[in-house]
């Protein structure tokens, strides 16, 4: 994996563990020679991931919509900063420039990015690993809900392993490195659906 898209919040929670996790994530990726592709912001966990990677000498590619750049929230210290018109273009570039996806704690935007990465993998728009870092139990409810969707039958058995979940970054990166692409929906026959 040469580059990973890192999805995370632009907020700074009161609990300092979240910002420290983001900073450490950027640093670890840089030290492993893995470039960071992220939302291009300088605030919250986003800014901490970028800072961690840049301080460790890593590549940081930011992708930000023009409207957010106009609000002066763009991180101009990025190795590269791509300014796009829409959120759709932003997420497409995340996929085009990355070899996988790591999701740290975040809010609604982070969930949108995570579920799109999973959905696109299921459909066959990419075959990259999608990792969820469940640090501090933040995503316990989401992991449980994902299992519930599978149990009810809304996630096919062959697609239940798309979302790779670990509590530590090292374990997650190891699992992502071992990921084997799944049979996608576009590779199935109508009878399989």
Residue 193 burial class via C-beta count within 10 angstroms: exposed 0-12, middle 13-18, buried 19 and up: exposed
Looking up tokens 């632009």 gives 10
Domain 3-192 CATH (choose: 3.40.50.450, 3.40.190.10, 3.30.342.10, 3.40.50.300): 3.40.50.450
pLDDT in tens, 70-119: 998 999 999 999 999 999 999 999 999 999 999 999 999 999 999 999 99
**Beta-ladder partners of 130:** 101, 163
| Angle CA 87–5–185, to nearest 5 | 80
Residue spans of the domains in the chain: they are: 3-192
Give the residue-averaged pLDDT of 7-26. 97
Average pLDDT, the chain: 95
Report field, pTM of the whole predicted structure over 0.75: yes
126-143 residue pLDDT tens: 999 999 999 999 999 999
């Amino acid at each position: 994996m040469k580059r990973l898209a890192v999805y995370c919040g632009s907020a700074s929670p009161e609990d300092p563990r979240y910002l420290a996790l983001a900073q450490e994530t950027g640093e670890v990726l840089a030290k492993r020679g893995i470039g960071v592709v992220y939302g291009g912001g300088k605030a919250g966990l986003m800014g901490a991931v970028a800072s961690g990677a840049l301080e460790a000498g890593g590549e940081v590619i930011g992708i930000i919509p023009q409207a957010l750049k106009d609000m002066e929230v763009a991180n101009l210290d990025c190795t590269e900063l791509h300014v796009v018109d829409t959120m759709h273009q932003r997420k497409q570039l995340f996929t085009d420039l990355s070899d996988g996806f790591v999701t740290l704690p975040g809010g609604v935007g982070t969930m949108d990015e995570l579920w799109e990465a999973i959905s696109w993998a299921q459909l066959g728009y990419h075959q990259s690993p999608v990792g969820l870092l469940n640090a501090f139990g933040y995503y316990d409810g989401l992991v449980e809900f994902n299992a519930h969707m599978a149990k009810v039958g809304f996630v096919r058995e062959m697609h239940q392993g798309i979302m790779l979940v670990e509590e530590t970054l090292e374990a997650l990166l190891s699992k992502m490195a071992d990921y084997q692409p799944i049979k996608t929906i576009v590779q199935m026959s109508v009878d399989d659906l």
